[in-house]
A and B are shown apart, each in its own frame.
Chain A
Amino acid sequence: MADTDTNTTMVADTPDDYGREGLPTGEHHQPTEAEEKARNKRNIAIALSVVGFVVLIYLTTFFRLAENLKGAAG
């Protein structure tokens, strides 16, 4: 655990303590090749989903507009 001196300043002893106190720990996570590959696939899937949803909204607007025009003409 972090020590507390008389001025209540947090002093971390271990990397875990630094993490708890919100201090930089010097740790980092180096993704493996498998992780990076999976992350790329997830990123592509998210991008495609967002684009797909935009297309769905675009098509909905298009068909709704066409319906309204047909109704107005008929």
Chain B
Amino acid sequence: MTRTTMSETATDQEIPAHLTAEPSDYAALLKPRVMSLSIFTALVGMVVAPGPVPSWGLAILSTIAIALGAGASAALNMWWDSDIDGLMARTAKRPIPQGKVPAAEAFGLGIVLSALSVWLLALSGGYLAAGLLAITIGFYVVVYSMFLKRRTPQNIVIGGAAGALPPVVGYAAVTGTVPLEAWALFALIFIWTPPHFWALSLLKKGDYEAAGVPMLPNVKGDAVTRREIWRYSILLVLTAPLIAFFPLAGWLYAASSIVLGAEFLRRAWMLRGSEDNKGAAGLFGFSILYLFALFLVLLVEHWAGFHG
């Protein structure tokens, strides 16, 4: 806090960054890009559920609640990781390491948003969806951020469950149930997460080394990471088409998952054979496109009536 005596003026002193924080700095705590993926997958979860969406008004409000929940968990994650975010180039520009937002305020924002998002979803989507959202936030913050992230190279494998839950929450919000087909969408994102993040960690292992985060390349080496990416890619490419056996997907999804899966495998194979991690950036970028495209196809199928 800048303090001056009556005889001094504040302009004589350097202004602490948090005194000039803009609302956009607080919005950045919510990781809008990650939030957008949660919104999209949750929306797809709602649309692919059997039957027409009972009320689009409630569905949109449920989507907003899920988005707020995703933002809340991001703010709490930034609060918890504020000691290491400043050490990594990828996260050094976040509002807390920059001094724009005090860590305690990020914590407060995260807690308030968590409570409001769960409450809103309970009203708009029912108690099952709200409970699942609460579990998602708790899993991401407590299980992933607090326990797994700094302890084990399997952090993102187990922690990926939090990122995989939004379509299940969406499904629950419109149906009040979570049958096996909802968990098939969960499985798709859950298995997609390791090759996606390990490709990134190959590129950013210096960052993780500096922060002491035991990502797979730092603990087991690049060769093991490339091999694990390959293994998980095979599992992903084999799992994705299986969703077509459920009524929520159709032939267009099946064909897309095979074509996109072949390209995923090709990139993972090229990366596996490279000594200098060439192709890691390409695989990382393609993995985002892959997941987005598959969920988009599910959405299109439902609007066009191709599913089931």
Q: Flag if B55 contacts A15 (CB, 8 Å).
A: no
Given the contacts A56-B64, A67-B58, A45 and B26 also touching, CB distance less than 8 Å? yes
The complex places the Cα of A42 from the Cα of B20 at a distance, in Å, of 9
A62 contacts which chain B residues (CB < 8 A)?
Answer: 57
Q: Flag if B26 contacts A59 (CB, 8 Å).
A: no
Q: Flag if A30 contacts B4 (CB, 8 Å).
A: yes
A51 at the binding interface (Cβ < 8 Å): no
B15 contacts which chain A residues (CB < 8 A)?
Answer: 32, 34-35
Closest to A15 in B: B5
Binary flags per residue of B97-134, CB closer than 8 Å to A gives 1, else 0: 00000000000000000001000100110000000000
Q: Flag if A35 contacts B19 (CB, 8 Å).
A: yes
B276 at the binding interface (Cβ < 8 Å): no
Q: Flag if B22 contacts A38 (CB, 8 Å).
A: yes
A40 to chain B minimum Cβ distance, whole angstroms, is: 10
Binary flags per residue of A18-33, CB closer than 8 Å to B gives 1, else 0: 0000000011111110
Binary flags per residue of B196-233, CB closer than 8 Å to A gives 1, else 0: 00000000000000000000000000000000000000
The complex places the Cα of A45 from the Cα of B21 at a distance, in Å, of 12
The complex places the Cα of A38 from the Cα of B24 at a distance, in Å, of 11
Q: Flag if B20 contacts A34 (CB, 8 Å).
A: yes
Q: Flag if B5 contacts A26 (CB, 8 Å).
A: yes
B23 at the binding interface (Cβ < 8 Å): yes
Q: Flag if B23 contacts A42 (CB, 8 Å).
A: yes
Q: Flag if A63 contacts B57 (CB, 8 Å).
A: yes
B58 contacts which chain A residues (CB < 8 A)?
Answer: 60, 63-64, 67
Q: Flag if A64 contacts B20 (CB, 8 Å).
A: no
Binary flags per residue of B142-171, CB closer than 8 Å to A gives 1, else 0: 000000000000000000000000000000
Q: Flag if B23 contacts A41 (CB, 8 Å).
A: yes
B10 at the binding interface (Cβ < 8 Å): yes
Instruction: Output the residue of A63, A66, A67 with the most chain B CB within 10 A.
Output: A63
Q: Flag if B22 contacts A41 (CB, 8 Å).
A: yes
Q: Flag if B26 contacts A64 (CB, 8 Å).
A: no
Given the contacts A32-B10, A42-B21, A67 and B55 also touching, CB distance less than 8 Å? yes
Binary flags per residue of A58-73, CB closer than 8 Å to B gives 1, else 0: 0111111011000000
A15 contacts which chain B residues (CB < 8 A)?
Answer: 5
Which of A27, A42, A56, A61 contacts B3 (CB under 8 A)?
A27
Instruction: Output the residue of B2, B6, B11, B23 with the most chain A CB within 10 A.
Output: B23
Given the contacts A57-B120, A67-B55, A28 and B4 also touching, CB distance less than 8 Å? yes
Given the contacts A35-B19, A45-B26, A29 and B10 also touching, CB distance less than 8 Å? yes
Q: Flag if B123 contacts A57 (CB, 8 Å).
A: yes
Q: Flag if A63 contacts B10 (CB, 8 Å).
A: no
Given the contacts A27-B3, A35-B15, A60 and B55 also touching, CB distance less than 8 Å? no
Closest to A45 in B: B23
The complex places the Cα of A29 from the Cα of B19 at a distance, in Å, of 11
The complex places the Cα of A15 from the Cα of B4 at a distance, in Å, of 10
5 example contacts (A-B, Cβ-Cβ < 8 A) are as follows A15-B5, A32-B10, A34-B15, A56-B64, A64-B58
A57-B120, A66-B57 given. 18 additional CB < 8 A pairs? Answer: A27-B4, A27-B5, A28-B4, A35-B19, A38-B21, A39-B19, A42-B23, A45-B23, A45-B26, A53-B120, A56-B120, A57-B123, A60-B61, A62-B57, A63-B55, A66-B55, A67-B54, A67-B58
Interface residues of A, Cβ cutoff 8 Å to B: 15, 26-32, 34-35, 38-39, 41-42, 44-45, 53, 56-57, 59-64, 66-67
